[in-house]
């Protein structure tokens, strides 16, 4: 009986992949979740089941980064074992996006190792993320910013600004601002938004903002070259006068893209849309303190009214 070259190649792959990287110890009972079922299937060389079970595990939102690295690795192995090295590369790229310094286990077959090394070379050449940004000339209550991100492997899923109000070396308050994804042209994507002052009632101070890019798993991504934090001068706004309420619950509203910003809270809202209140000063944010409700335009806010 003659054997076709295709059958011989498939047999060679199975022989070379004969040491499962995710082999389980015997006697531990039936697998309890998709990840364990995937590992068990790989130990039994059941690569079709690896694809289905590991795909389920990859879709689970609460998996740790280490778990996802192992899941993506097993999916890469399974696709290669079934003759689809291109799909294996896709999963290896996702793995390297999570953990760029990852190495395969010593027991991994030479077939897996060759595809992984080729993928790693591609990742090192094309996986770098670059950012161009022109800082605003001044800050006047808020400042609009725009970033152009070069991301050849589509690693970036979201972007935000971490903004710090500082008085010398002292941090007055902090806030994170989500950036809006704009258009994409070729490998360039724009992100934009406003720099907000988390301490508008303070006297003259400095704002410092940092761009943070994250992947689909929520993990921060490195930028090459690293993003240098930008500093702006903020004049600050007036605090309560001698005849005004000096409790920690007073607000100094400022216009911030349709939102209201308070002295001890940041209100992230647009008129007519649900309001999110983020407390900034820990000592003023006690859970059991009474709260007062106010309306600023069409925006409803709640603030702490307890006193020290």
142 band by pLDDT with thresholds 50, 70 and 90: confident
Cβ–Cβ under 8 Å, residues 308 and 248:
yes
Mean pLDDT of 14-32: 51
Q: Is the pLDDT score of 231 beyond 70?
A: yes
Please report whether residue 183 resides in a domain. Answer: yes
Please report whether residue 242 resides in a domain. Answer: no
Please report whether residue 45 resides in a domain. Answer: yes
Q: Residue 21 has what pLDDT?
A: 52
Same domain, 147 and 210: yes
Q: What total number of domains does the chain contain?
A: 3
Of the residues 201, 234, 267, which one is the last residue of a structural domain?
234
Of the residues 205, 234, 263, which one is the last residue of a structural domain?
234
24 band by pLDDT with thresholds 50, 70 and 90: very low
307 band by pLDDT with thresholds 50, 70 and 90: very low
Q: Residue 183 has what pLDDT?
A: 87
29 band by pLDDT with thresholds 50, 70 and 90: low
Which contiguous run of DSSP H or E holds residue 10? helix 5-16
Q: Which CATH number is 193's domain given?
A: 2.60.40.10
Of the residues 126, 158, 191, which one is the last residue of a structural domain?
126
Going from the C-alpha of 200 to that of each of 91, 166, 264, the distances in angstroms are 46, 11, 9
Q: Who wins on pLDDT, 261 or 52? A: 52
Q: Which of 134-148, 173-187, 251-265 has the lowest mean pLDDT?
A: 251-265
Q: Is the pLDDT score of 40 beyond 80?
A: yes
**Percent of the chain residues past pLDDT 90, beyond the cut:** 49
Same domain, 176 and 205: yes
104 band by pLDDT with thresholds 50, 70 and 90: very high
Could you give the CA distance from residue 291 to residue 109 in angstroms, rounded to a whole number?
62
The token pair that represents 40 in the structure block = 């068990």
Please report whether residue 18 resides in a domain. Answer: yes
Question: Can you give the residue range of the structural domain that contains 110?
Answer: 5-126
Q: Both ends of the chain: CA-CA distance in Å? A: 90
Please report whether residue 174 resides in a domain. Answer: yes
Q: Who wins on pLDDT, 250 or 42? A: 42
218 band by pLDDT with thresholds 50, 70 and 90: confident
Q: Who wins on pLDDT, 281 or 109? A: 109
Please report whether residue 247 resides in a domain. Answer: no
Same domain, 102 and 141: no
Mean pLDDT of 291-297: 39
**Percent of the chain residues past pLDDT 70, beyond the cut:** 66
Same domain, 10 and 117: yes
Q: Is the pLDDT score of 15 beyond 90?
A: no
Please report whether residue 245 resides in a domain. Answer: no
Distance of CA 244 to the CA centre of its chain: 42
């Amino acid at each position: 009986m003659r054997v076709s070259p295709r059958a011989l190649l498939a047999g060679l792959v199975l022989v070379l992949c004969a040491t499962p990287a995710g082999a389980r110890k015997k006697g531990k009972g039936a697998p309890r979740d998709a990840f364990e079922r995937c590992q068990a299937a790989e130990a039994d060389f059941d690569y079709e089941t690896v694809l289905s079970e590991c795909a389920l595990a990859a879709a689970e939102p609460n998996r740790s980064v280490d778990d996802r690295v192992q899941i993506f690795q097993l999916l890469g192995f399974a696709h290669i074992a079934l003759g689809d090295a291109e799909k294996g590369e896709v999963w290896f790229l996702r793995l390297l996006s999570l953990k760029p310094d990852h190495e395969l286990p010593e027991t991994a077959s030479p077939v897996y190792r060759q595809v992984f090394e080729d993928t790693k070379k591609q990742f090192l050449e094309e996986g770098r993320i670059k950012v161009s940004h022109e800082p605003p000339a001044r800050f006047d209550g808020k400042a609009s910013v725009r970033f152009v991100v070069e991301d050849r492997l589509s690693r970036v899923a979201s972007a935000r600004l971490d903004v710090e109000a500082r008085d010398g070396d002292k941090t007055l308050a902090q806030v994170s601002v989500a950036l809006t994804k704009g258009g994409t042209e070729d490998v360039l994507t724009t992100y934009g938004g406003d720099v907000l002052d988390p301490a508008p009632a303070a006297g003259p101070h400095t704002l410092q903002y940092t761009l943070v890019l994250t992947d689909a798993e929520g993990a921060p991504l490195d930028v090459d070259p690293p993003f240098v934090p930008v500093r702006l001068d903020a004049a600050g706004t007036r605090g309560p006068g001698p005849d005004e309420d000096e409790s920690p619950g007073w607000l100094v509203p400022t216009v911030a893209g349709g939102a209201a910003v308070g002295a001890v809270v940041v209100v992230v809202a647009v008129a007519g849309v649900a309001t999110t209140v983020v407390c900034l000063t820990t000592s003023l944010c006690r859970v059991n303190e009474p709260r007062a409700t106010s309306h600023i335009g069409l925006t409803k806010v709640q603030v702490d009214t307890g006193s020290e």
